[in-house]
Amino acid sequence: MNKLVEAYKNKLAIADQAYGQTHNGATLSESKKVMLATLLNNVNKRMNEAFSGSLATQRSGMGEWKKFCLALTTVAVPNLIAEELVLTYPMTSIHGYVAYTKYSYGITKGDAVKGTVIRDAIHGFKNIDPNYTSRAVVETVTAAADVELGFHPLLNVRLVGAPSGAEIEILDAETGHVKITGVSGQVRVAYEYDNEVIPQKTIPTLVASIDGISLHAKARRIGVLYSQMAAYEAKNDYGFDLPDQLSKQAVGELAYEIDTEVVNLLAENAEFGQGIEFNIACPVGVGIRDHYVGFLKVIADAKTIVYKKTQKVRPNFMVCAPDVEACLQIMEAYKASGNEKVMGPYKSGALNGMPVFVHPALEEGTFFLGTNTGDATATAAVFAPYMPIIPSSLIDWPDGSTMQGWASMYDLQILNKDLLVAGRIVNEAQIVETHAN
């Protein structure tokens, strides 16, 4: 991938400049450069192939057409917010695969059952038994005069939750045999064994295996149709290029739909966290700025929910409805991006350093927090572009109509919804009760 970045460094420099103009001077991240270089290479190969076969007679027009398609990719793709919200995994084929490692218990020890997945690169820790690697064991056995416990030599034993009069006695510490009396059926036994002596008959183990998510790029397509006469009139009488305007509208429509699909996928998988709600109505006698500081506590609670579920990361971005952004702008902790050149979803600013994005598709009063670290281990979803937004050739018909098609191909899949949490704002009058002396 570094070779591709080097090969397309001039176009990436142009993309960086275009991105900065719409993102208040910000620069492209390394992952976005890799994505863009991959897509530019895909377009380059596609254009070479398109003019090598049946269209070879039109090869004289290849240079300008190819430059146009590459220039469009250079400017249009970096301005998607998709790459900033989810993992971007550019594909060089219509099919792709995100591989990751998962770990499971290799043997049963107490409540830790063989084959139980305890961690994978995407979902983090789960089903962890804190005693798995220690000398402590708690297991369920059937009471009898001679019971063999799973691990030995035994150091000590006791019954857990057994009725009065139940007893346990070590018969043979080396072989793990005990005697349980005064109770019948299944009982819980807590014990310690010598896990330092060698050789060990059994030892706790982890089993690693490879799993993954299959990707398949799907298409979005749109066509533009206009009259040659209308194009001539627009240029001659009004001074604007109708084909250029229609091209920008088609690209804008595809970009808007891609970003909207990403945001909707995240919003649909973000569960509303308990207590993640902020009442924007100020209590009597409290200033609005002082009151809105309480919203930061709600955000901190939302981050804690994600951390408790995953035990590895906290959210690092926020997406909100426009009316939520209006509330954020009152807060001193919020720094606006100053970007007024927006169309559709956009990066609004940062709340205590956390990027905030606005999308009008979200339900009024709602927001969600998510995590995107740039790799599959801690990202809520994956956006896998294969073919960037590119056009077909112009076709002129005898009746004076002109047609052109625009298309993009990509896949989008959720990876780990535990990395998302949603909340809302409400506006409910806060009544202050008073009591007479």
CB 157, CB 190: distance < 8 Å? yes
Q: Residue holding tokens 């070779």?
A: 3
What CA–CA distance (Å, rounded) separates 351 from 278? Answer: 16
User: What mean pLDDT is reported for the chain?
Assistant: 83
* pTM given for the model: 0.74
Tokens of residue 325, six digits: 């952004």
Tokens 């009069």 — which residue? 165
Task: Give, rounded to a whole angstrom, the gap between the first and last alpha carbons of the chain.
Answer: 76
Pairing outcome for strands 395-396 and 421-426: unpaired
- The SS3 call for residue 192 is strand
pLDDT greater than 80 at residue 248: no
- pLDDT greater at residue 154 or residue 1: 154
Q: Where are the beta strands (DSSP E) in 217-271?
A: 218-227
pLDDT higher than threshold 60 for residue 113? yes
Which range, 34-43, 153-162, 240-249, is most confident?
Answer: 153-162
pLDDT of 61 over the 60 cut: no
Of 178, 160, 181, 158, the C-alpha closest to 169 is 178
Q: Is the pLDDT of residue 23 over 60?
A: yes
Provide the pLDDT for residue 56: 43
Given a contact cutoff of 8 angstroms between Cβ atoms, the answer to whether 424 and 327 are in contact is: no
- Give the separation between CA 201 and CA 195, rounded to whole angstroms: 10
Alpha carbon separation from 217 to 85, 193, 256, 386, 405 (Å, rounded): 19, 54, 18, 6, 18
| pLDDT average, residue stretch 224-233 | 85
CA nearest to 176, candidates 199, 205, 155, 200:
155
Quote the tokens at residue 331.
Answer: 């807060």
Least confident of 5-14, 229-238, 307-316: 5-14
Tell me, what's the pLDDT at 59? Answer: 42
Position 298 scores a pLDDT of 95
Burial pattern 349-367, b for ≥16 Cβ within 10 A else e, equals bbbeebbbbbbeebeebbb
Q: Which of 30, 19, 6, 1 is nearest to 74 (CA)?
A: 19
Average pLDDT of span 259-267 = 93
Q: Tokens 């309480």 appear where?
A: 294
Share of the chain above pLDDT 90, in %: 36
What's the average model confidence in pLDDT over 276-291? 87
> Across 203-212, 244-253, 326-335, 363-372, which has the greatest mean pLDDT?
363-372
pLDDT of 405 strictly over 70: yes
pLDDT of residue 57: 40
pLDDT for the residue 422: 96
> Per the omega criterion (within 30 degrees of 0), is the bond before 360 cis?
no
Q: What is the pLDDT of residue 60?
A: 44
Structural tokens at position 332: 């001193």
∠ CA 422-428-431, nearest 5°, is: 135
Instruction: Measure the CA–CA gap between 11 and 388, rounded to whole angstroms.
Output: 15
pLDDT at 121 over 70: no
The secondary element (H helix, E strand) that includes residue 125 is strand 124-125
The DSSP bridge pattern shows strands 421-426 and 366-370 to be antiparallel
CA dist., res. 49 & res. 47, Å (int): 5
